[in-house]
Structure 1
């Protein structure tokens, strides 16, 4: 089994195949045990019938003796012995079947334990494989070329945004000359405003 797993391209698939084979073997063992149990029951019924036949031949032999028919009694005892021999033969076969059933029982128990162990290991291996794949994806995401390329593009975009924001701020700046010009213009407006107020006051008087 270990060599098969070592050579397998897909160990998980090989484990599933082994478990399937074990399950099929377990079904076959149970079917064989069921047939043996059925055979034993049939033999038990046959032995019961042969025991009844022996009792019947015993009664017949006693009847023949009571009638002084030793010849008939002897024949009855011969028939009784045949039935007894057949019953003994069936009992011997039943003993063998019981031994086989014990063997089946032990094999089934061992195979069930192995199957439970295999299923447990299968689940454990599946969980480990899933975890390993998830970790590999996470590391690829953190350190992979696509992620690094994306972050390098982020940096380029951030630099572009900084530049655009700088231009917008720069457009709002005014030179010293512009500021002085604005002061002069404001001074002229203030003078005109005062002149208008004075003219308006004079007219009102």
Structure 2
């Protein structure tokens, strides 16, 4: 059985309360998101079906209007030909089609009301889902931070931090940098790299000029 049993349960849920009561918040938020996503799919499917049915009803209405006009023209033709009996029969068919049209017209507002409600529900579900995903991201970040802190704590407990540790680490970094520099020896710089070096040099020149100007100003003030 899911966490939620109906749409109103999802919209009215208090995620904070659910997570506070949970023994495993990460698992709970995953289940909540899954159920929200499943419900959203169901509501969207219902919306698509309703839209399709409304379009079909509109096509029926248009065909019905065409039939009314057609039977009216047939009745006029029958009268011109002196066949009042046929004209009367055509008018009866016209009346039958108009009855169907009236019934179909009454259905249109029902479809519109349903689509309006479904659109609102989709918006509410999407907002709730976005909130749940944001909370999941926050829980994941907190979980990773705690894991990192525990790893650091265990490392510190296992191996005291000494000058020798740092020196060994610096040597390792030096070796990696040396390999990288050796790899770049003889390699022609790309156009993008040359332009980036020019930009970096220009930034340094600007900072140097600004520093000289500030020092000159301080000298004058003193």
TM-score range, shorter chain: 0.5 to 0.7
Does residue 95 (structure 1) correspond to residue 123 (structure 2)? The answer is no
Please report how far the alpha carbon of residue 139 of structure 1 lies from its aligned counterpart in structure 2 after TM superposition: 4.3
Bigger helix fraction = 1
Please report how far the alpha carbon of residue 97 of structure 1 lies from its aligned counterpart in structure 2 after TM superposition: 0.9
Please report how far the alpha carbon of residue 11 of structure 1 lies from its aligned counterpart in structure 2 after TM superposition: 1.2
- What TM-score does the superposition give when structure 2 sets the normalisation length? 0.58
Please report how far the alpha carbon of residue 70 of structure 1 lies from its aligned counterpart in structure 2 after TM superposition: 3.9
- The residue aligned with 1:105 is 119
Matches within 5 A, 1:1-205: 4-139=18-153, 142=156, 147=158
Which runs of 5 or more residues in structure 1 are unaligned? 152-205
**Distance (whole Å) between structure 1 residues aligned to residue 47 and residue 91 of structure 2:** 38
Which runs of 5 or more residues in structure 2 are unaligned? 1-12, 161-222
Deviates more, 1:63-72 or 1:92-101: 63-72
Number of residue pairs the alignment of both structures matches: 147
Please report how far the alpha carbon of residue 59 of structure 1 lies from its aligned counterpart in structure 2 after TM superposition: 0.9
**Distance (whole Å) between structure 1 residues aligned to residue 32 and residue 92 of structure 2:** 58
Larger CA Rg, structure 1 vs 2: 1
Please report how far the alpha carbon of residue 120 of structure 1 lies from its aligned counterpart in structure 2 after TM superposition: 0.7
